[in-house]
Amino acid sequence: MSTEARESLNFIEQIIVEDIQNGKHGGSVYTRFPPEPNGFLHVGHCRAIVLNFDLGLKYNGKTNLRMDDTNPTTEKTDYVDNIKNDIKWLGYEWDGDVLYSSDYFEQLYDYAVVLIKKGLAYVDDSTAEEMAAMKGDTTTPGSNSPFRDRSIEENITLFAGMRAGEFPDGTRVLRAKIDMAAPNLLLRDPVLYRIKHEHHHRTGDEWCIYPLYDFAHGQSDSIEGITHSLCSLEFRHHRDVYNWLIEKLEIFPSRQIEFARMNVSYMITSKRKLLKLVEEGLVTGWDDPRMPTIAGMRRRGYPAQAIVDFCRGIGLTKRDNVIEIERLEYHVRQELNKSADRVMAVLDPLKVVITNYPEGQVEMLETVNNPEDENSASREIPFSREIYIERGDFKTEAPNRKYFRMAPGRNVRLKSAYILHCESYDTDPATGEVTTVYCTYYPDSKSGEDTSGVKAKGTLHFVSVGQAIEAEVRMYDRLFTDAEPTSHEDKDFLEFFNEESLKTITAYVEPSLSKAKAGEGVQFMRLGYFAADEDTTEAKPVFNQTVTLKGSYKP
RNA sequence: AGACCUAUGGUGUAAUUGGCAACACAGCAGAUUUUGGUUCUGUCGUUCUAAGUUCGAGUCUUAGUAGGUCUACCA
């Protein structure tokens, strides 16, 4: 047994291990993933999902899934269902039932009353504008609201009135009484409750006041006994409010720890901006294969395991980062290389006639489904006198010695078939475009039983003209022309929308592909990985390009 | 301008917590290959700056510089 290299822990795990060693919370580790159900989950969320659920698994704890649904204006049940589905698809299970911040509304209300009774919260009649004006700024302290010193009794009455629906939206709020001169602006009497006469996706019309993030998130953590509440860096300043509330309410002391969220080049993770792409019709929906959403990546053909491995492999720190998308694609290829069947598809067909092959004859050739998988079976593909090869695999003149595809006078092997000798070609007199290539084949060069002694450096994929079926293939490119489309202060991210991010073509594919099942990933030999789309039918298969093969050929 | 956070190859992270700066991705070169894929080998290249503490600093201290976050009745 070799001694393993010491495992290096990220800064959050170091804290957790230390807490366990100190017996904090009896050594338990409870985490949670708290999405707001106002959009689809995206790559950025994947990092948080993997982090939280892995921690729960690794340290024998549990991980809750909690919908942070305190804003009825933007939240929908439809989003809840998609979020649940996406997390399951990634392979994770949350502890017990899905939880909702809205389940705690009554408890939260009671907490607010406790605060009022302690003289630590008050109802403010100021308008939003007045409150902003009294807030001060980074260099000047704020000033106290004229309503700050209302009596506890009056505050209780007014707050009850707010709940009872006695006041219109925006007329009053409940604020914590902290410090209007605090250097942290969030500590300048943060708003805890606002009035919103709106229908909530779960509580219906039961409430017309709703708690804000600062008065819902930390308390929900506490109610659930979350020991380590992990969130992204921008919540750093909220931690002071989070801790203040825990202290004053004397509730379970969850600990908030911030980490830098993950950014991936050419992808955006702003739900608002993603929504805009959907609303403006630049993509077909939240699950468009170009979208950096989990639903989009799934439809694109990215295996869940690839996404999880990617998230695990990039580490965790507090510095801003942009991970090159190539790294995600590396994991996608690695996963698909192991699992995807190799199939024949010609995207840009050029007809080849094998002049010494009998007319009308169709031969079935055996080919292995996946050379990377020992347990992989074989199947048969048709071969005949007329085939299609990739137009890019033929040149009227071989450019150099390093070129080993098809050109007049050259030999080239057809995958799982015969070696061809290229004789001549026809061109369209009008355009000069090559229309047909003529070859002869070596009958004794059949794959697996080659006795010809003929050498061919290159191997091409092909489909038999008579048996090939047409398929719709959606070729995808990066959604944006800039690696960080949202980082330009002077330009809107939509200016970088890649108009060529989708090209739909008709390809010729081997007959077995009519039975492709939606979601199934295959490798189009020598071209890339493709996944059958949900639109696929037996009569008209539809494939999404997942990612190209790496490709090191330089003409 | 203030408070807070951050700074290690092109990118992302390590560095046994003060002891020879390494791993992965990307790039480049080569070997193997009935996929110019996979696999394998080699190669390129790194501690923001300046002082200080120390036998010794990527790590500790101070100052500076750069980037980020914060002044929503969003989360």
- The secondary structure of A468-485 as a DSSP string is -EEEEEEEE--SBSSSST
Please give the pLDDT value at position A2. 34
Catalytic residues of A: 36, 261, 271
Query: Are the C-beta atoms of residues A41 and A298 closer than 8 Å to each other?
Result: no
Residue A418 vs residues A5, A174, A358, A454: alpha-carbon distances, Å: 50, 80, 14, 10
* Residue whose pair of structure tokens reads 């403006």 in the numeric block: A280
In the numeric block, which tokens belong to residue A481?
């022309």
Strand nucleotide closest to residue A127 (CA to C1') = B73
The answer to whether the C-beta of A70 is closer than 7 A to strand B is yes
The answer to whether the C-beta of A216 is closer than 7 A to strand B is yes
Please give the pLDDT value at position A6. 61
Please give the pLDDT value at position A132. 97
Please give the pLDDT value at position A4. 44
Please give the pLDDT value at position A3. 38
Q: DSSP 3-state assignment of A351?
A: strand
Strand B bases contacted by the protein (CB, 7 Å) = 1-8, 10-17, 24-28, 34-39, 67-75
Smallest CA-to-CA distance from A165 within A199, A223, A114, A209 is with: A209
Strand nucleotide closest to residue A188 (CA to C1') = B71
Please give the pLDDT value at position A271. 94
- Name the DSSP letter for residue A323: B
Strand nucleotide closest to residue A457 (CA to C1') = B34
| Angstrom distance (rounded) from CA A470 to CA A509 | 6
Taking the stretch 389-418 of protein chain A, residues with Cβ within 7 Å of any atom in nucleic acid chain B are 402-405, 413, 415-416
| Angstrom distance (rounded) from CA A305 to CA A457 | 36
The answer to whether the C-beta of A234 is closer than 7 A to strand B is yes
Tell me the CA end-to-end span of chain A in Å, nearest whole number.
Answer: 48
pLDDT tens-place values along chain A, 555 residues long? 333 456 789 999 999 999 999 999 999 999 999 999 999 999 999 999 999 999 999 999 999 999 999 999 998 999 999 999 999 999 999 999 999 999 999 999 999 999 999 999 999 999 999 999 999 999 999 999 999 999 999 999 999 999 999 999 999 999 999 999 999 999 999 999 999 999 999 999 999 999 999 999 999 999 999 999 999 999 999 999 999 999 999 999 999 999 999 999 999 999 999 999 999 999 999 999 999 999 999 999 999 999 999 999 999 999 999 999 999 999 999 999 999 999 999 999 999 999 999 999 999 999 999 999 999 999 999 999 999 999 999 999 998 888 999 999 999 999 999 999 999 999 999 999 999 999 999 999 999 999 999 999 999 999 999 999 999 999 999 999 999 999 998 899 999 999 999 999 999 999 999 999 999 999 999 999 999 999 999 999 999 999 999 987 876
